[in-house]
A = this chain, B = another copy of it.
Amino acid sequence: MKTIRSVLAEAPLVWLLIAVPVAAGVHYAMPHAALLGFILACVAIIPLAGLLGHATEKLAARVGDAIGGFLNATLGNAAELIIAIVALRAGMLDIVKASITGSIIGNLLLVMGAAFLFGGLRHPIQTFATIGARAQVGMMALAAMAILVPSIVSAVDSAKFVAKSVNFSIVVSVILLGVYLLSLVFSLRTHVHLFSGGSTEAAEEEHGTPWSINLAVGVMLAVTVLIVWMSEILVATVEHASKALGLTNMFVGIVVVAVVGNAAEHSTAVIMAMRNRMEIALSVAVGSTTQIALFVAPLLVLLSLFIAPAPLSFAFPPVEIFLVLMATFVASILLVDGQSTWFTGVQLLAVYLVMAITVYGVPA
């Protein structure tokens, strides 16, 4: 009991956990209140994702730099991965694709925009080391390209290409996962010093009381089970909720699911920016994007062969391709700079807002 209290004491937005039992109660007791169940499941995932990230960091702090870095890098988007896997099993390929798109544009525009805005309201001009930022942007751009190239070709020459695109998606996934592994070698082995900059210090500051390995692993397992459960409610209710709200699957995937899955990154990035630790804020936002593109997306493609009723391919809808392309372009222009103000944040948020409204307007 004391352990649970001490665990909860450090988790962000912990009071939202009350949504877990309520969501379950509503879902099973009132099967017709699908919209309410959907909203509650979304709300419940937010603190769970935060807690999962928190426990991962505690475990990483225990097991040494190299394995810790690997854990952080691999499980950083675990909540999104779980939601996507549950959706994949239910055959909702369009929502899975949309949530990948939404994670990318959400991290680059919404999370980074909010970080710049709230950081900039406290500090007139915020600077960040461009070398780290540029390395991240380069990786992000390349990851985006790798996902986009097949999609674009598919959009241009749709009819015939799609037929081949499952095998094709498998090969590309293997390449991306290979690049991801090499990126870990790069950032955890050969060029550690480029990335460790201020982040170790900050990481220590953040870690707070250390957890035992058992506690950390226990929390991770328990929270994972809860996220799977909430994701199943979310997936079971999403169709009804969409219809009730007059939303398309694409909008729900890009805006709702992605925002819910990235809420933890969101709050971390904003808090760090307000403390004027821009490197960490950026690394959370951009690093998460890269991870989605190089690790989560290809992993889902490969997993879909075994767990989904139909295989997932890299052929994204044209609208989503353009959104990712634009977001990457805008982010790469702004990060080259090494400086930000509150207005940089306003600009990014405005682009996100326009994109969200655009997606809202795209018919099913």
Q: Which residues of A contact B (CB under 8 A)?
A: 124-125, 131, 134-135, 137-139, 141-142, 145-146, 148-150, 152-153, 156-157, 160-161, 164-165, 168, 171-172, 175-176, 178-179, 182-183, 186, 190-191, 318-319, 322-323, 326, 329-330, 332-334, 336-337, 339, 341-344, 346-348, 350-351, 353-355, 357-358, 361-363
Which of B135, B322, B337 is the one whose CB lies under 8 Å from A153? B322
Q: Do residues A153 and B362 form an inter-chain contact, with CB atoms below 8 A?
A: yes
Which of B153, B182, B347, B351 is the one whose CB lies under 8 Å from A319? B153
Complex interface: chain B residues within 8 A of A172 (CB): 354, 357
23 CB contacts below 8 A, A to B, read: A134-B336, A134-B339, A137-B333, A138-B344, A141-B333, A142-B350, A145-B354, A146-B351, A149-B326, A150-B354, A153-B358, A153-B361, A165-B361, A168-B357, A171-B357, A175-B350, A179-B347, A183-B343, A190-B341, A191-B341, A191-B343, A329-B329, A332-B333
Q: Do residues B333 and A138 form an inter-chain contact, with CB atoms below 8 A?
A: yes
Taking A145-B330, A157-B363 as given, write out 11 further A-B residue pairs in contact, using a Cβ cutoff of 8 Å, ordered by the A residue number: A134-B336, A138-B344, A142-B330, A149-B358, A152-B319, A153-B319, A161-B363, A168-B357, A172-B357, A176-B350, A190-B343
Complex interface: chain B residues within 8 A of A339 (CB): 131, 134
CA distance A183 to B141 in the complex (A): 28
Complex interface: chain B residues within 8 A of A334 (CB): 138
Complex interface: chain B residues within 8 A of A150 (CB): 354, 358, 361
Q: Do residues A145 and B353 form an inter-chain contact, with CB atoms below 8 A?
A: no
Q: How far is the CB of A339 from chain B (nearest CB, A)?
A: 7
Which of B171, B337, B342, B350 is the one whose CB lies under 8 Å from A190? B342
Given contacts A131-B339, A341-B191, A361-B161, contact A182 B149 (CB under 8 A): no
Complex interface: chain B residues within 8 A of A348 (CB): 142
